[in-house]
A and B are shown apart, each in its own frame.
Chain A
């Protein structure tokens, strides 16, 4: 069965600190896809990144970076030099090859204080 665990329920940092959000997944499929979504206080879900199981290259986009490690079934998300606007709930999600659905973790609420 597919499962996504985000062990950190809430994280609070001060602006300009770096912060890493953890995501651990479970799947029996060898082909799968991992996602991160951001849910700001306004409530919408904003797509951040998608990775497939065959691409373990880390990715950097501005202040955001992602570390995908199949050996530990983890797909962690780091925000460098955090800003107040980064305050949101961040969801990690998994989709298996044979399924249409996204399976979400419970989310990590990030609060960046000025």
Chain B
């Protein structure tokens, strides 16, 4: 069964460093998403991406965040200068078509900022 793949599973970084989280969405999907889950809390939407541009973003998704689809398969989330409060599980998701289609999630990348 096709699945969303995220790498790495765990990323440790120093405060102020840049990190790139990588995702390979399901191959025929057209919409891509990033969510985050701070430990023990609910899952929060960050951004959606369609047709090579951001279609929606939350207040959390400020200037230190960016997303990119550098090729036909990868979808990345970059955090420019990490802060302690960026420590969380980051989930990538993809859906087949317009929203309301089911969003399928990857296993997540746990980001630890020291």
Contact = CB atoms under 8 A, between A and B. Distances in A.
Q: Interface SS of chain B: helix, strand, loop or mixed?
A: strand
Interface size class of A (residues with CB under 8 A): 20 to 34
A35 B107 CA distance: 18
Contacts, number: 57
Contacts of A46: 105
Interface stretch (B13-21, B37-45, B64-72, B79-87): B37-45
A100 B108 contact: no
A70 interface: no
A68 interface: no
A111 to B, nearest CB: 15
Interface string B75-100: 00000000000000101010000011
A46 B43 CA distance: 13
A64 to B, nearest CB: 16
Interface centre among A45, A100, A106 (most CB of B within 10 A): A100
A50 interface: yes
Interface in B1-53: 31, 33, 35, 41-45, 48, 50
Contacts of B103: 47, 102
A10 B98 CA distance: 34
Interface of B: 31, 33, 35, 41-45, 48, 50, 55-56, 58, 89, 91, 93, 99-100, 102-108, 110
Given A43-B108, A104-B44, A107-B42, 16 more contacts: A44-B106, A45-B91, A45-B105, A45-B108, A47-B105, A50-B102, A91-B42, A95-B99, A95-B100, A99-B56, A100-B50, A101-B45, A101-B56, A103-B45, A105-B42, A106-B42
